[in-house]
Amino acid sequence: MNIKPSYNRWLILLVLMTAAMSGALMQTSLGTALPTLMKAFSIDLSTAQQATTWFLLVNGMMIPLSAYLANRIPTKILHIVAYVLLLVGVALSMFTPAQKDMWWLFVAGRIVAAMAVGIMMPMLQVLIINMFKPAERGAAMGMMGLVVGMSPAIGPTLSGWILDKDHTILGLTLSNDWRSIFVIPFIIIVIATVLAPFLLKNVMETQKLKLDYSSLILSVAGFGLFLWGFTNVASQGWGDFGQVIVPITAGVMLLAVFAWRQLKLPVPFLDIRVFAKKEFTIPTVALLLATMAMYGVEMMLPTYLQNVRGLSALDSGITLMWGALFMGFMSPVAGILYNKVGVKLLCFFGFGVLTLGTVPYIFLNTTTPTVVISVLYALRMAGIALVMMPLTTAAMGALPDEKGADGTAANNTLRQVSSSVVVALLTSIVQNVINNNTPSSSLKTSDPLQYAGKVLNASMDGFQTAFLSSLIFAVIGFVFVFFMKDDKKGEK
């Protein structure tokens, strides 16, 4: 239903977008800060990436649950609870003591923050549809897209700028310390939390829905064990039975039981029946491959630039910024082209650009000009932009209107989960390659110069392996396009 005329819809949207900005910054702000966190906590790359992998995983698991919560709990209460959760999560990470044995607390803060973001972000679009008339939705969606689209783009650059040197903003001093990257998201969510009790209203009608706790437990345990196994690969190796093989196998088995249960429930927790329609499944798989190809470079590149090339956090953030901005510019262009040339041709071109932009990355070395890296990164992100929206639109357009919410939940959940798995997988591969190629410590004493050179080469080998994996994802995605139906408007 539409909210009452006495409610100021634009003020409500202002609060929602303010909170969304903080959540979006939390998603991407750690990219350029990972090398700094590695030094501060004395941890390796694989361990540091846990802050990203667990955030993405928990965020994905919350998406189907958020739909239940939105229909069960009044809008105002649900969002205030989410904002408080985000405050707690940001504070936990920000005030974690910089000690290796306290890293778990930093990750716990990221998990709590991800729970909040997993509630807030999926509901933003739903609330806009409920609050605004069709003639007004375009302007509201445009404002939402500006915030939700630009915040992740500026996150890595903002972190790099903060870590570069001390800054003073409105009398507040931000030191070049990893804790400072949380200050701005923290202040933003504080503002949203203060405004929420006064400006938010109960937009959606609530219903007494029953939550299938068995499905919730199976999904959390299944996805959690599966990811935990992958994160242990770096330290334990692929052959470790107790900490790699067992959790991955147990996770797969629990997820199989979860899938079986969804097919038996009249109202499933996550409706996987949508995958029975190949016109939905093929674009969705292609979308997952594009997402995995994107993260394969995006999450590895800042660490390569800082640890191998010796760039500052700011310089590495600027290198990423142009790709993120180019992706934002190309996204509306992709929407225009989608209706003109159709999804198949557009995705052929997009995956082709992505593939061509990724090939040079497997040949990066310690002297590759950063301007070349930046141009190639922008090219890759343009390719991503050309396939993301068309593939999503094609997948959703293949389903009946009454299955749109189920398709969106399944699509978004798989995207977030696959992102977390690919980040864990590739960082584990990189760390394994580095560990296997690092020379013995005795060489450090006998020939420090040779030791440093071999360590650098070992790191380079690891990153090139990750970039090669991204190329493979892009190529497989290109192949999947052959099996797609050519549909310009996503008709069913």
Domain spans, the chain? 1-200, 212-268, 274-492
The answer to whether residue 487 scores a pLDDT higher than 70 is no
pLDDT of residue 6: 58
The answer to whether residue 304 scores a pLDDT higher than 50 is yes
Q: How confident is the model over 382-437, as pLDDT tens digits?
A: 898 888 878 887 887 777 766 766 777 788 788 878 888 888 788 877 877 777 77
Query: Which of these, 200, 186, 4, lies nearest to 90 by C-alpha position?
Result: 186
**Helix-then-strand count for the chain, H and E:** 19, 2
pLDDT of residue 206: 72
The answer to whether residue 331 scores a pLDDT higher than 80 is no
CA distance 281 to 278: 5
Q: How confident is the model over 367-380, as pLDDT tens digits?
A: 888 899 999 999 99
Residues sharing a CB contact under 8 Å with residue 381, sequence separation 6 or more, in sequence order: 294, 323, 324, 326, 327, 330
Average pLDDT (75-79) is: 90
pLDDT of residue 399: 78
Helices (H), 240-368: 246-264, 278-298, 301-303, 313-341, 343-358
Average pLDDT (341-366) is: 89
Of 89-93, 137-141, 378-382, which range is least confident?
A: 137-141
Q: How confident is the model over 53-68, as pLDDT tens digits?
A: 888 878 878 877 877 7
The answer to whether residue 181 scores a pLDDT higher than 80 is yes
Cα-based distances in Å from 254 to 220, 224, 250: 9, 10, 6
pLDDT band at residue 152 using 50, 70 and 90 as cut-offs: low
CA atoms lying within 13 Å on the CB side of residue 361: 34
The answer to whether residue 475 scores a pLDDT higher than 90 is yes
Average pLDDT (289-297) is: 85
Backbone angles phi, psi at 167, to 5 degrees: -135, 150
Length of the chain: 492
CA–centroid distance for 250 within its chain? 25
Reading the block at residue 82, the tokens are: 């989410």
pLDDT of residue 320: 81
Q: How confident is the model over 212-253, as pLDDT tens digits?
A: 889 889 988 888 888 888 777 766 777 778 888 999 999 999
Of 61-65, 92-96, 139-143, 167-171, which range is least confident?
A: 167-171
What percent of the chain is modeled with pLDDT above 70? 88
pLDDT band at residue 2 using 50, 70 and 90 as cut-offs: very low
CA distance 73 to 372: 50
N-term to C-term CA, the chain: 26
Of 7-21, 67-81, 254-268, 450-464, which range is least confident?
A: 450-464
CATH fold, domain 1-200, is Growth Hormone; Chain: A; (1.20.1250)
pLDDT of residue 491: 44
The answer to whether residue 321 scores a pLDDT higher than 70 is yes
pLDDT of residue 96: 93
Compute the radius of gyration of the chain from its Cα atoms: 22
Average pLDDT (454-473) is: 84
Residues sharing a CB contact under 8 Å with residue 484, sequence separation 6 or more, in sequence order: 282, 283, 286, 343, 344, 347, 394
Strands 172-174 and 167-169: antiparallel
Q: What is the CATH number of domain 274-492?
A: 1.20.1250.20
The answer to whether residue 444 scores a pLDDT higher than 70 is no
- Answer for the pair 32, 132: CB distance below 8 angstroms, yes or no: no
pLDDT band at residue 164 using 50, 70 and 90 as cut-offs: confident
pLDDT band at residue 4 using 50, 70 and 90 as cut-offs: very low
pLDDT of residue 70: 77
Q: Which residues are registered as beta bridge partners of 172? A: 169
CA distance 442 to 300: 29
Position of tokens 């090219």? 379
Reading the block at residue 281, the tokens are: 């499944």
The answer to whether residue 22 scores a pLDDT higher than 70 is yes
Mean pLDDT of all residues belonging to the chain = 82
Burial 306-324, CB ≥16 within 10 A → b, else e: bbbbebbbbbbbbbbbbbb
pLDDT band at residue 135 using 50, 70 and 90 as cut-offs: low
- Torsion on CA atoms 189, 224, 243, 254, rounded to nearest 10: 180
pLDDT of residue 257: 95
306 three-state secondary structure: helix
- Answer for the pair 215, 258: CB distance below 8 angstroms, yes or no: yes
Q: Do domains 1-200 and 274-492 have the same CATH topology?
A: yes
